[in-house]
Chain A
Amino acid sequence: MSIHRQYLVFCMRGVRYGVALDSCHEVNLRSRVYPVPRARPHISGIMNLRGEVVTVIDLPSMFSPSKGEASSGAVIRLKAGEHPIAIRVDAVEDILTTENALEPPPPHLAEEHLRLIAGVIQTENGIVQIIDPQGILRV
């Protein structure tokens, strides 16, 4: 029996990542992120999403330490954890529906990355690294 898995594919630093669709709540493009002083690293700030205050995590900085550019890009609100949380990414692409299995991530990744990556999916267009929301929460 084939399982259709749906992932939301997005782009960061030119690399395609994905997150399980049922982990997503919403995608928002016009996002005004308000920075919070003395927040933990990788926290961009907070934003108002349909009346709710959501913490925004800057995902690119999790993957590469250099704090990238501004708060342009898309915000994906995730269904995870108790508090509302969202990740800021560079661009949202599409919904990927695939029957391919989630393969384990390549072993050469760094330790902290391995925590974040649930696995990889092969597509016609290349490899999509699937993010594990729990891993993000744990950071």
Chain B
Amino acid sequence: MKAQGMKDAEKKQMNVTLTGKERIMDDGDILVSMTDLKSRVVYANKAFLKIAGYTQEELVGKPHNVVRHPLMPRSAFKDFWQTLQAGKPWNGLVVNRATNGDHYWVDANVAPRFENGNLVGYMSVRRKPQRDQIEKAARLYRSVLEGKATVPSSLRKRMSLKAKFWLFLVFVTVVVMGLGLDAAFDLLHGKVAVGLSVVFSVLTLAVGAGLSNSVLRPIKEAADYARLIATGDLSVRIPHDRNDEVGDLFQALLSMLVNTAAVIGQIKESVESLDSAAGNLTSASTSLSAGLDKVAQQSETFAGIASAATQMNTNLQSVTSSTEEMSISIQEVARKSSDSATVAEKAQITSREMNSLVKELGVNARDIGKVIESISEIASQTNLLALNAAIEAAGAGDAGKGFAVVASEVKELARQSAESSEEIKDKIGAIQGSTENVIAAIGSITSVISQINEIAGSIASAVEEQAITTREIASNINQTAQASNDVTASINNVSTAVLSGAQESASFTRLAVDLKDLAGNLNNLVTRFKLSSNGAGTGTIQTMQGSQEMTPEFV
């Protein structure tokens, strides 16, 4: 017999990515997923994403059979679809494939999903199966794949209880009628009739008892289940193999249980997120508080700065008044310098005039000198003539004696002229020397005056610089005063901000604490529901700050 299951090609493809490693669901985890009418995933909760190894983005929109495992027989899916299309929920054990090839078993409950009364898709809620369930299911599926067994149909009908009851009634009626007829018409022998009636009575009692039991017991069971559920134990296993009215009741209880468990599971996940968010909030508010405290601590420093700034302002004011006085003095000095510059100019003009006069004097002296030179020359010429005359006179003998006398007188005259000329020359030399001295003196006066002028000029410019500097100082002081005012104002602002920040942070902290309390309360509510058969309130959220069970990638 041809093995059931998938086509070889499909099987091969799927076989390639199997690791053979089993993932076990955490106790109390509920895996929820919802699809649209075309079996595409529209929602998957965190627990499901975690065990199947997908992210929300990877899974939503994909067909749900990405998690299909080759061990699941085709006939199981056929039963699955048939049940769903009949409008009934389907229950069964399923093995799924995780994204990396691992596999995991689930106790699945799949039901149609309605919104506003319209069928919009399907929802699957899966709980952790027990080990014996898993083994039984594995054996069954393997046999089915090998062709040795078939998946029992979920829709197979048993005879309804109503039919049974009516049958029983008919049977009793027939028997009673028979007995009545027999009594009326004496159809049967007395003993036979008694025997028959005894037998039929016993039969009736037995069947009746059996029937009532088969009604009453399940009802009691259902009541027990319901009571358990009422205590919050959502981990009960409700059998779902009867297809009669009792089966319907159990099925309904199971659906209710499973859906409630799914909701509780969702709430738990949300509470965990809430708690971790509250934890973050608390730690954020704590660090905010700490930061504000630090700033507040600085407030003393700030106050010191502010008072220092005020002090500085006061000091600057006295500096300003001093610089104003200095300004006035500077202006005085500037005026005086300008006066001295005027005087110096006049002096320079005068000395220049004097210079030119003296130079004229010198020129005149030189001219005199030249005249004297010519006189000197004349004197020496005269001397020569006198010499020659003396020579002639000597040559003339006695006759020349008178001539010689005259010649010697002329020589004497020449000599005197020469002497006088020399004297005059000396005098002129002296005059010239004095003239030079005067010129030099005038020159030095002039240079002194121009030095004075320069000094006055540099005083004036220095003074001007001082004036500029003074003005700069004044403006700097102004700016500084402004700045220090700004500083003071800023410090005040900071103080105000810190104060209001501290208040905000306090209310922030209260808010965080409230949230934590809320998370705690919610958790308390939720942990009343037992989601797994091991331990109470499994999957408890640790409500201590900071510790989270859920890894952040599913937040």
Contact = CB atoms under 8 A, between A and B. Distances in A.
Are A and B bound to each other?
A: yes
Interface of A: 6, 8, 21-22, 24-29, 79, 92, 94-95
B387 A25 contact: no
Interface residues of B, number: 12
Contacts of A27: 384, 387-388, 391
Contacts of A26: 388, 391-392
Contact of B387 (A22, A79, A95): A95
30 contacts: A6-B390, A6-B394, A8-B387, A21-B390, A21-B391, A21-B394, A22-B394, A22-B395, A24-B391, A24-B394, A25-B391, A25-B395, A26-B391, A26-B392, A27-B384, A27-B387, A27-B388, A27-B391, A28-B384, A29-B380, A29-B381, A29-B384, A79-B395, A92-B384, A92-B387, A94-B387, A95-B387, A95-B390, A95-B408, A95-B411
A92 B390 CA distance: 14
Contacts of B391: 8, 21, 24-27
A79 B408 CA distance: 21
A98 to B, nearest CB: 14
A29 to B, nearest CB: 6
A92 B391 CA distance: 13
Nearest to A95: B390
A27 B385 CA distance: 8
A26 B390 CA distance: 9
Nearest to B394: A21
Given A21-B394, A24-B391, A25-B391, 13 more contacts: A6-B390, A6-B394, A8-B387, A21-B391, A22-B394, A22-B395, A25-B395, A26-B388, A27-B384, A79-B395, A92-B384, A95-B387, A95-B408
Which 7 pairs, one residue from A and one from B, show the smallest C-beta to C-beta distance? A21-B394, A24-B391, A27-B387, A22-B394, A26-B388, A95-B390, A27-B388
B395 to A, nearest CB: 6
Q: Tell me the interface secondary structure of chain A in the complex.
A: strand
B243 to A, nearest CB: 168
Contacts of A21: 390-391, 394
Q: Tell me the interface secondary structure of chain B in the complex.
A: helix
Contacts of B392: 26
Contacts of A79: 395
Contacts of A25: 391, 395
B119 to A, nearest CB: 152
Contacts of B387: 8, 27, 92, 94-95
Most-contacted residue by chain A among B387, B388, B395, B411 (CB, 10 A): B387
Nearest to B395: A22
A110 to B, nearest CB: 30
A21 B408 CA distance: 14
Contacts of A8: 387, 391
Interface in B356-408: 380-381, 384, 387-388, 390-392, 394-395, 408
A8 B381 CA distance: 17
A95 B391 CA distance: 9
Nearest to A25: B391
Contacts of B390: 6, 21, 95
B355 to A, nearest CB: 40
A24 B391 CA distance: 6
A16 to B, nearest CB: 16
Most-contacted residue by chain B among A8, A27, A79, A94 (CB, 10 A): A27
A43 to B, nearest CB: 23
A28 B391 CA distance: 12
A29 B395 CA distance: 20
A26 B392 CA distance: 8
A136 B392 CA distance: 22
A75 B472 CA distance: 89
Nearest to A24: B391
B219 to A, nearest CB: 172
Nearest to B408: A95
B506 to A, nearest CB: 123
Contacts of B408: 95
A27 B380 CA distance: 12
A3 B289 CA distance: 147
Nearest to B404: A6
A63 to B, nearest CB: 23
B265 to A, nearest CB: 143
Contacts of A94: 387
Contacts of B395: 22, 25, 79
Most-contacted residue by chain A among B391, B394, B411 (CB, 10 A): B391
Contacts of A22: 394-395
B410 to A, nearest CB: 12
A28 B408 CA distance: 18
B407 to A, nearest CB: 9
A75 to B, nearest CB: 11
A74 B306 CA distance: 108
A6 B387 CA distance: 12
A90 B392 CA distance: 22
Nearest to A22: B394
